[in-house]
Structures are given as C-alpha cells and as structure tokens.
Amino acid sequence: MSGWSPDRIPDQHGRRFVITGANSGLGAETAAVLAARGARVTLACRNLEKAAVVADRIGSAATVAHLDLADLSSVREFAGTVDAVDVLINNAGVMALPLRRTADGFEMQMGTNHLGHFALTGLLLPKLTERVVTLSSLAHLGGSVRVDDLNWERRRYNRWAAYGDSKLANLVFAQELARRITAAGSSLRSVVAHPGYAATELMGHSETPVDYLMKAGALLRVGQPADQGALPSLYAATADVPNGSYWGPSLVLRGGPSPARYRSIVDDQSVRDKLWAVSEKLTGVTVDVPA
C-alpha cells in the first residue's frame, strides 16, 4: 500500500464521520479529504475558532461541534447531540505537557488521549454503524500501563513517559475493543493507526529542549507533513481492513499506509482487562459492544 493515495478512497457520499481534534494537523487534513470524497464530517473540537476556519475551508459538508476531551461533562454533552455516525476517528491528542490535570482530576495526557476517547467511544458505540479508528503513536513503544497509578499520583512525573503511557493505552483499548466486537458477533470494527513522524501543532509544547529537536526534524524533513501523516488513518477509516488491524507509514516514520507492529504487551489479556476496568471506573462509562 506504499503507493496508496487519497484518490483511491471509495465514494463516501451518505457516510458521516466524527473526527476529534479536527481543528488542525492530522484531524483537519483527514476531514478535508473525507469531505472531498463526499462524506459529511463533524469536527469535534475544543477550539471552536480554529475549527470554524477549517470548516469554512471544507464547505457545507463540515459541521463544528464543541468537545473537550479533558472534561467528561463535555464528552457526555457532545455524545448526547449525536444521533447516528458511521465512523468515529479518535484523533485528538496532547503531547509531552508539563504536569496538568483535567476537569476530572486525570493527568492531562492520559485524560485527553485515552480516558476522554474511552468515554466518547463507549457513549457513541450504540449509535455507530461501521468502525472506530483510534490514533496511537510510535511513542507507545516507551509506554507502560500502570493501572495502579494511571494518573501519575504516586510516580515522579515525566511528561514523555506519560505521553507514551497514553498512546500505549490507546492501542490496548482499541485492540481489546476489537476482541470484544468479535466475541459479540458484531459487524463493527476497531482499527488503529499511527502517523509516523508528522509535523503538526502537537509538537513544541513540552517546554523542554526536545521541542527544538522536533522542530529541527520537521525542517530537515526527517518525517512528513500533516497531509501525508494522515494517510494511515484515512486508510484505516475507509479501506476494507480487518477488525483489529494496525496501520502506519511504510517506512515507519514516513510513507504510505502499511501494516504496523506493536509491542506484545498489547496482546496481554490481563493488561487489557485491568485497563478496561480502571477506565470504566474512572470515567463512569460502561463500554458494551452491541451484538
């Protein structure tokens, strides 16, 4: 699939996509391509001003809705406005922030990247007709699933480790969701993607020297621009891919969509069960897969 491009996406007329964090970067590029292929796209964003600019550029196929994944009341409010959706793309994320907490007291990266999307997916699952696409990251390779301290209340905080934890949680959740979908005999799919090294607004907020290294990498084109970084998630959202499949750039950091590998811990059932249970407890959302 290394030569795959968006012009190979089938006609998307009649399909509705909800894309979190579509006010910039990968989410904005994903929304624009899907709309160009005929889809209706809902830009579910915290920053409505930026989202409006993207929606204006896309045209009438795009609508903007407020969603703050760092506030479970906002997640519930948004989910209540959705009647039916074909594809949910869990795209939004924050990276390597200094220690901050969500409205519900979660560590900001775990709260936004995983727990917010866990709750949103659970609330929208009964309204979903086709698939959930969850964005992970190569950073999951350095993550851990500490269910006894998911929100960094006991450990000395490390912003990069916390980011890795959240992206590993994305993968563990998405793959366990895929298993439960199969067990329920459902026609839904849970698919995962990662963008490789993509130059987006996600970079540059760690307030450490690493920000300069990442920006230098983007300038030197070590990775790829946002429109190329969006290819794996676009492929995962529109192609006839298997439930539980994982997609990333063919050259790892860049390139067209290709099957990707993840750490073996993602397939550890005890880890999956523990993360699922603590996620339900913290969010108050029970995620049931409809048959």
Active-site residue list? 163
**Widest distance between CA atoms in the chain:** 50
Given a contact cutoff of 8 angstroms between Cβ atoms, the answer to whether 111 and 70 are in contact is yes
Give the residue among 66, 67, 22, 69 at the shortest CA–CA distance from 41.
22
**Contact partners, residue 53, CB within 8 Å, separation at least 6:** 23
Q: Residue 17 phi/psi, 5° resolution?
A: -115, 135
What does R_g of the chain's alpha carbons equal in angstroms? 17
Give the residue among 247, 197, 238, 231 at the shortest CA–CA distance from 217.
197
Given a contact cutoff of 8 angstroms between Cβ atoms, the answer to whether 20 and 89 are in contact is yes
- 148: its two tokens: 């006894």
- 113: its two tokens: 């990247």
DSSP state of 265: G
